[in-house]
Amino acid sequence: MHTHIRSVLLVLLTFGLIVTLCSSVQGKKLSVVTATTDLAALAQEVGGDKISVESIARGYQDPHFVEAKPSFLLMLRRADLLITVGLQLEIGWLPPLVTQSGNPTIQVGAPGYLDASRFAQILDIPTGPVTRAMGDVHPLGNPHYWLDPANGRRIAKGIADKLGQLDAADADYFQQRFRDFDQRLAAAEQKWDARMKPYAGRKIVAYHNSLPNFAKRFGLNVIGFIEPRPGIPPTPSHTIDLIGLMKRENCKIIMVEPYFDLKTPNSIARETGAQVVQYLPSVGGEKEVTDYFKLFDYDLDLLTKAFTATQ
Ligand SMILES: [Zn+2]
């Protein structure tokens, strides 16, 4: 009798152990939510099939202004990790969602909250006091930093490390995935640099100040913006000044994000003989741009064609 109970207990214990092992091995992928598609793409690179990842903002949306939806709360409620761009890019829409989600894991400062800007090289950091006269957005430095592949690499490493902390059993897997991503990115960078080399120093105008990291990385010279200040819509007087500047500087390229109206860019292009390039600032801006590599492939393709056509 005694032995019988012991063997039943042993069977139960073994069974319980197997159930526990199975659930930790096969199931419970880490649930990752990102503010933007670019962060989702980078998380997917290093997370592989050990995570499920979804982005709140769509790739064709202005990440400064995303309309909150109830479905976002559901995503955040079950998230193990939230990755944000930071530098107040999402300040107009994300903080209330995070609070309302009631998920303690992803609150600011909690282990499941990751601000990707801490890994990236940040440009345009204000040196003096910040005032509203400087514009409505970008008070802490430029938040469009993911458009430099070197920052993509740094962010991917930061995410791999964080995933390894949250899921220690798979930490080696995430680091291996990062090394693989790193190698593929290095090869792609060689290709991109070679394509852009003939156009080093070319002058461009941008609608919004989204491109300082991209321009620095690929040797372009951003001489002005259609927005008088980041987040401030174009004004007639600023547009006239910009047209004068572009004529003096012989600037023939206007880069516009997909979520801005083309009226002002088109009229400036008519005045200056410039070409409007509707580039993509984010993965998913067009259907075929499904990952971080294809984003640069797409934009550099558009740009080099426009440079060739306008030289
Ligand atoms: Zn911005």
Amino acid at 175: Q
Give residue 1's pLDDT band: very low, low, confident or very high (50, 70, 90).
very low
Ligand 1 center from residue 7 Cα (angstroms): 66
Q: How much is the pLDDT for 27?
A: 63
pLDDT digits (tens, 9 = 90+) for 215-248: 999 999 999 999 999 999 999 999 999 999 999 9
Ligand 1 center from residue 197 Cα (angstroms): 27
pLDDT digits (tens, 9 = 90+) for 181-208: 999 999 999 999 999 999 999 999 999 9
Q: Which residues neighbour 39 within 8 Å (Cβ) at sequence distance 6 or greater?
A: 55, 83, 84, 85, 116, 146, 155, 159
Ligand 1 center from residue 216 Cα (angstroms): 16
CA angle at residue 274 from 235 to 141, to 5 degrees?
A: 55
With b for 16 or more beta-carbon neighbours within 10 A and e for fewer, the 204-224 pattern comes to bbbbbbbbbbbbbbbebebeb
Do 267 and 292 form a contact (C-beta atoms < 8 A)? no
Ligand 1 center from residue 150 Cα (angstroms): 19
CA gap 112, 283 in Å, rounded: 23
Ligand 1 center from residue 211 Cα (angstroms): 9
Which one-letter DSSP state was computed for residue 291?
S
Ligand 1 center from residue 206 Cα (angstroms): 11
- Residue 137 scores a pLDDT above 50: yes
Ligand 1 center from residue 62 Cα (angstroms): 8
Q: How much is the pLDDT for 75?
A: 97
Ligand 1 center from residue 309 Cα (angstroms): 28
Q: How much is the pLDDT for 132?
A: 67
- Residue 30 scores a pLDDT above 90: yes
Ligand 1 center from residue 205 Cα (angstroms): 15
Mean pLDDT, range 13-29, rounded to an integer: 52
Ligand 1 center from residue 277 Cα (angstroms): 18
Q: Smallest Cα–Cα separation from 116: which of 210, 59, 39, 30?
A: 39
Q: How much is the pLDDT for 127?
A: 82
Ligand 1 center from residue 257 Cα (angstroms): 11
Q: Give the percent of the chain with pLDDT over 70.
A: 90
Ligand 1 center from residue 295 Cα (angstroms): 18
Average pLDDT, the chain: 92
Q: 302 exposed, middle or buried (CB, 10 Å; 0-12, 13-18, 19+)?
A: middle
Ligand 1 center from residue 50 Cα (angstroms): 32
Give residue 108's pLDDT band: very low, low, confident or very high (50, 70, 90).
very high
Ligand 1 center from residue 210 Cα (angstroms): 6
Task: Tell me the β-bridge partners of 205.
Answer: 224, 254
Ligand 1 center from residue 130 Cα (angstroms): 16
Please give the C-alpha separations between residue 234 and each of 215, 230, 242, 265, in angstroms, as whole numbers.
22, 10, 10, 10
pLDDT digits (tens, 9 = 90+) for 125-136: 988 777 766 666
Do 278 and 210 form a contact (C-beta atoms < 8 A)? no
Q: In 30-170, which ranges are continuous DSSP H helix? A: 37-47, 70-77, 94-101, 149-166
Ligand 1 center from residue 228 Cα (angstroms): 13
The alpha carbon of residue 108 and the mean position of all alpha carbons in its chain are separated, in whole angstroms, by: 19
Ligand 1 center from residue 144 Cα (angstroms): 6
Helix, strand, coil percentages for the chain (3-state, nearest 5): 55, 10, 35
Ligand 1 center from residue 63 Cα (angstroms): 8
Mean pLDDT, range 286-311, rounded to an integer: 97
- Residue 113 scores a pLDDT above 90: yes
pTM (global) more than 0.75: yes
Task: Tell me the β-bridge partners of 204.
Answer: 222
Ligand 1 center from residue 28 Cα (angstroms): 36
